[in-house]
Amino acid sequence: MKGAGKRDEGEAGRIKPLNSPRPLLVEADEKGRPLAVVTRGTLRKVTQCHDTWRIDDEWWRSEISRRYWDVETADGKRLTVYQDLVSDEWFGQSYGVRE
C-alpha cells in the first residue's frame, strides 16, 4: 500500500490534547451550583444539573481540586463545566457531552 505506515515528520513525537479545558464565565449560587454560563458570547441559563463529581488528585505535584457539573441550558445544550477549587476559575471541557 502506498503511504502505509508513513508519518508526517512535522507531527512525529507531538501529542495534541483532544479536549483541552477552555475558560468560561459562570454565575453560580452560594453552594457553587452553576446558574448560567457564557459560551460563544451568549449567556445561557442552566435549567438542569444532571450530575456532579469532584476530583482531588496529585497532591505531590501541583494540587488539583475540581468540582465538575454536567448541566443543561434553557436552549437544550448539554455542557460539562468545572470549577477549579484552587484558583476559583471556571472551565468547560468536552467528555462526550457536546456544547
- The predicted-structure confidence for 42-93, as pLDDT tens digits, reads as follows 999 999 999 999 999 877 778 899 999 999 999 999 999 999 999 999 999 8
**Residue 28, all three cell numbers:** 453560580
Q: CA quadruple 15, 60, 53, 80: dihedral positive or negative?
A: negative
Nearest to 39 by CA among 58, 53, 25, 28: 25
Residue 99 is predicted with a pLDDT of 46
How sure is the predictor about 9, in pLDDT bands with cuts at 50, 70 and 90?
A: low
User: What is the distance between the alpha carbons of residues 27 and 35, in angstroms, rounded to a whole number?
Assistant: 5
The model scores a pTM over 0.85: no
Q: How far is CA 81 from CA 34, 47, 52, 60, in A?
A: 9, 14, 10, 25
Angle at 74 between CA 70 and CA 80, to 5 degrees: 20
User: What is the distance between the alpha carbons of residues 91 and 83, in angstroms, rounded to a whole number?
Assistant: 6
Name the β-bridge partners of 55: 66
